[in-house]
Amino acid sequence: MAGVTINEGTQTNIKTTTVGTQEYQHVVLNIGTSSDNPYKGTIAEITNIASGSIARLGTLQAGTINVGTVSDIGLLHPDRWGTVVTSGTSDLGTIKPLVSGSVIYITDITVAVGSASNVVVASGGTSTPIWGTLFFNANGGAIYNPRTPLATASGSALVFKQSANGPMTITAGGYVD
């Protein structure tokens, strides 16, 4: 690729953007293709950023951040979920239906009961508890925000069962992977 020689007064246009009183030249990213169009694709790999920053990080598929800081990703999981379930019976209930071949993760859960009851939160059926058995007095409750999310078995629903017929509310959220 040859350089461009610019002689003042020859009307050669260079695209710039003015920031305050300073002009900054636009630079087109070149990753080995020969084209007059600006690059608008995906960069498959970045091996070294000596200086500067990435303003918005999309999906990080794999790799290692050896040095530096990721200050704020600010994006939620694309398969996040949240729900509120109320019950007044001791029947087995569903918090989040199964997703075939996927694991349901719980990042936040609150259980509140109106009368004395035991509550199990489980994977698929109450024989595989993932949080509980919780023993509550009347008007009791619990909040859990785990550092490591709770998880169902792959392809299992997230369910609950309480031991007594009485008012109960479960508020839960998480993601599916």
Pick from 171, 103, 160, 104: nearest CA to 128: 160
Whether 103 and 154 have beta carbons less than 8 Å apart is answered as: yes
- pLDDT at position 1: 44
Q: Among 41-50, 127-136, 158-167, whose mean pLDDT is lowest? A: 41-50
Alpha carbon distances (Å) from 125 to 117, 120, 129: 18, 10, 8
**Predicted local confidence at residue 79, as pLDDT:** 84
Kindly tell me if the per-residue pLDDT of 141 is higher than 90: yes
45 vs 101: CA distance, rounded Å: 30
Res. 98: pLDDT tops 60: yes
> Who has greater pLDDT, 163 or 8?
163
At 62-79, the pLDDT tens digits run 555 555 555 545 566 778
Query: CA quadruple 131, 135, 138, 141: dihedral positive or negative?
Result: negative
* CATH classification code of 80-176: 2.60.120.340
Q: What is the DSSP string of 22-75?
A: EEEE-----SS---SSPP-S---------S---S------S----SS-------
pTM above 0.85, yes or no: no
Query: Distance of CA 89 to CAs 92, 158, 161, Å?
Result: 9, 17, 9
Per-domain residue ranges of the chain: 80-176
Rg (CA), the chain: 27
Q: Regarding beta strands 158-162 and 150-151, do their DSSP bridges make them parallel or antiparallel, or are they unpaired?
A: unpaired
